[in-house]
A and B are shown apart, each in its own frame.
Chain A
Amino acid sequence: MTSELQRERLAYKRSRSRRSTLVALLSTAVFAAAVGVTVARAPGWPRVRQSFFNVEIAWRSLPAILEGLWLNLRVLAVCGVLIVVFALVVAVLRTLRGPVWFPLRVLATVYVDLFRGMPLIILLYLVGFGLPALRLTGVPNDFVVLGGAALVLAYTAFVAEVFRAGIESVHPSQVAAARSLGLGRRETMRLVVLPQAVRRVMPALLNDFVSLQKDCGLISVLGAVDAVRAAQIEQARAFNFTPYVVAGLLFVLLAVPTARFADALGRRVERRQGGR
């Protein structure tokens, strides 16, 4: 049974928090009204609304854009998996010791340096337009595949560095403990170092994933009919920018859950490390 004193204190706290909520609601309403009135009374507003936020055009362009977005999502899924796999391989290659691995180590380093610094748009042009121009047998000429390949090339270099940072953040004493038990280098990497490394870099990886989500829209420069390209077609047809806004908002909507998930994960990692 709580004491009279504690009950009185709780009642006071409750009344304070009710008051805070009320103040927040009121100030938000005033602020929103002020912004709304200012925007609506601005001289250019009707034209802005007409060319960027036209509900009718938005509705009409939505099916085509959604169909394009479905392509983006498929590219995202395939590229995401390939990037994680290749990046892990590159990161591990860079940590290999021993003379046999020297060429592979150098190759991995050169690859990362090259593709991390290269502007993605140039890479897209080179892979998307340059490769098919060689007319080599076996090179696909599907812009979606080529665009995806360019994305994988660029992002693998980035993500490999994230993984490597994670691998190097695992304390050497963990390796010593594993080796002292008789585990070989490979087993130590696979069973002791990598699981801890991946867990630690998860928030950074999710951040890169958000970045990849929107960069999937860049395959449109090759002519693949994705959400961005579909919006462009709709824009040209209606002579109105609303389709771009629709496509842009869809990408934002896509990124929000990942961003929130990354935040939650980051907080969890922080809590766990703080507790140690």
Chain B
Amino acid sequence: MTEPVLSVRGVVKRYGDHTVLDGISLDVREHEVVTVIGSSGSGKSTLLRCVNLLEELDDGQVLLDGVDVSDPRVDADVARRGMGIVFQAFNLFPHMTVLDNVTLAPRVVHRVPREEAERNALDLLDRVGLADRAGGYPEQLSGGQQQRVAIARALAYSPRLLLLDEITSALDPELVGEVLALVRELAEAGRTILMATHEMGFARQVADRVVFLDGGRLVESGPPEQVLGEPVHPRTRQFLRRIIDAGRL
């Protein structure tokens, strides 16, 4: 069996006395789409931020293509080049045009000449359906459009692994569809994706594997039809029942 793209091993993260991640282990293989579900505060976002090295681990390891990138001797800036992350709140740079947002990392980090970077960025923006907005600023776009730009920005340097942190949670309901459709396309194109989400229906259709987090622990993991359809753990059942009651599944 080949090396997983991402391997999370016994990761612990604490904020003061509060343990947010309590020994999480998880593998994501090439071309695999893994969705992380769980109630608010279960540690989904923290897990993604730890993988992206935006948070320092309190224990455990994060391996990217077999390399321990959580080692403090590893240059985190270099390690991050293998990953792209999209945030819940878009976090586009408001003082830059859409095009500059997308070309920033290729130009500055990967030293791609501006012309080439812009050509690639326009291709990407075309794929997310926003090539005509390249010269505009983020504040002139709708939430769904901003999030699609953020996805293009994360893809601009062809990362091995794409991290999606509840990317539809800040969107109006009618804008969720356009963003999820884009993620589905990426999944079908064979991208390796680790995605925290509240969209159970989407997880069921697109994910290869669903992981349920509760209280900082990985409670249940398996194919979506199993975890979402016939969960074995009482906590998973309880969580899913609440979701169903809220009409979200």
A contact residues vs B (CB 8 Å cutoff)? 173-174, 176-184, 187, 191-192, 195-196, 199, 272, 275-276
Taking CB as reference atom, which chain A residue is nearest B54? A176
- Is there contact, CB below 8 Å, between A184 and B77? yes
Q: 17 interchain pairs (CB within 8 A)?
A: A173-B87, A176-B91, A177-B92, A179-B77, A180-B80, A180-B83, A180-B85, A180-B154, A181-B84, A181-B105, A182-B78, A183-B77, A183-B104, A187-B109, A191-B104, A195-B95, A272-B139
The residues of B that contact A179 with a CB separation of less than 8 Å are 54, 76-77, 80
Residues of A within 8 A of B168 (CB): none
B93 at interface, CB cutoff 8 A:
yes
Give the residue among B85, B89, B104 with the most A Cβ atoms within 10 A.
B104
Q: Which residues of B contact A272 (CB under 8 A)?
A: 139
Across-interface contacts of A187 in B (CB, < 8 A): 108-109
User: Which of chain A's residues have a CB closer than 8 A to the CB of B54?
Assistant: 176, 179-180
B236 within 8 A of A: no
Q: Establish whether residues A177 and B87, one from each chain, have CB atoms under 8 Å apart when the complex forms.
A: yes
Report yes or no: B105 in contact with A182, Cβ–Cβ below 8 A: yes
Give the interface centre of A180, A181, A191, A275 by most chain B CB atoms within 10 Å: A181
- From 18 to 65 in chain B, residues with beta carbon under 8 angstroms from any chain A beta carbon are 49, 52, 54
Do B109 and A182 touch (CB < 8 A)? yes
**CB <8 Å contact, A192 and B93:** yes
B222 CB within 8 Å of chain A: no
Q: Contact residues of B with A, CB < 8 Å?
A: 49, 52, 54, 76-78, 80-81, 83-85, 87, 89, 91-95, 104-105, 108-110, 139, 153-154, 157
Contact call A191/B108, Cβ cutoff below 8 A: yes
Query: In the complex the two chains form, what is the Cα distance from A22 to B15 in whole Å?
Result: 67
Q: Which residue of A lies closest to B49 (CB)?
A: A176
The 9 closest A-B pairs by CB, nearest first: A177-B91, A181-B105, A182-B109, A182-B81, A180-B85, A195-B95, A173-B91, A182-B80, A184-B77
Q: Which of A177, A180, A184, A275 contacts B93 (CB 8 A)?
A: A177
Give the interface centre of B49, B87, B94 by most chain A CB atoms within 10 Å.
B94
Alpha-carbon distance A182/B153, docked complex (angstroms): 12
Q: A198: shortest Cβ distance to chain B, in Å?
A: 9
The reply to whether A275 and B139 form a contact with Cβ atoms under 8 Å apart is yes
Q: Which residues of A contact B105 (CB under 8 A)?
A: 181-183
Q: Please, how many angstroms separate the alpha-carbon atoms of A190 and B92 in the complex?
A: 16
Given contacts A176-B54, A272-B139, A276-B139, contact A181 B104 (CB under 8 A): yes
Q: A177-B87, A191-B104, A275-B139 are in contact. Are A183 and B94 (CB under 8 A)?
A: no
**Among the listed A173, A182, A191, A195, which residue makes an inter-chain contact with B89, where contact means beta carbons less than 8 Å apart?**
A173
Task: Please measure, in the bound complex, the distance between the C-alpha atom of A179 and the C-alpha atom of B75, giving whole angstroms.
Answer: 12
Q: B157 contacts which chain A residues (CB < 8 A)? A: 181-182
How distant is the Cα of A192 from the Cα of B96 in the complex, in angstroms? 9
For the A-B complex with A191-B104, A196-B95 known, give 12 more contacts whose Cβ atoms are closer than 8 Å. Answer: A173-B89, A177-B93, A178-B93, A179-B54, A179-B76, A181-B80, A181-B109, A183-B77, A183-B104, A184-B77, A187-B109, A196-B93
Given A174-B91, A199-B95, A276-B139, the answer on whether A183 and B85 have CB atoms closer than 8 Å is: no
B93 touches A182 (CB 8 A): no
B93 and A183 form a contact (CB under 8 A): no
Alpha-carbon separation in the docked complex, A276 to B92 (Å): 13
Q: Give min CB distance, A189 to chain B, whole Å.
A: 12
Q: How far is the CA of A180 from the CA of B94 in the complex (A)?
A: 17
User: Once the chains are docked, how many angstroms separate the CA of A272 from the CA of B95?
Assistant: 12
| Bound Cα distance A179, B55 (Å) | 11
Complex: A272 Cα to B81 Cα, angstroms: 33
CB-CB under 8 A from B78, the residues of chain A are 182
Partner of A182, one of B49, B77, B87, B139: B77
- The smallest C-beta distance from A274 to any residue of chain B, in angstroms, reads 11
Closest to A180 in B: B85
Pairwise interchain contact B81-A180, C-beta atoms closer than 8 A: no
Whole-angstrom distance from the CB of B49 to the nearest CB of chain A?
Answer: 8
Inter-chain contacts of B87 with A (CB < 8 A) = 173, 176-177
Q: Which residue of B lies closest to A190 (CB)?
A: B108
Task: Name the residue among A174, A180, A192, A199 with the largest chain B CB count within 10 angstroms.
Answer: A180
Q: Which residues of B contact A183 (CB under 8 A)?
A: 77, 104-105, 108-109
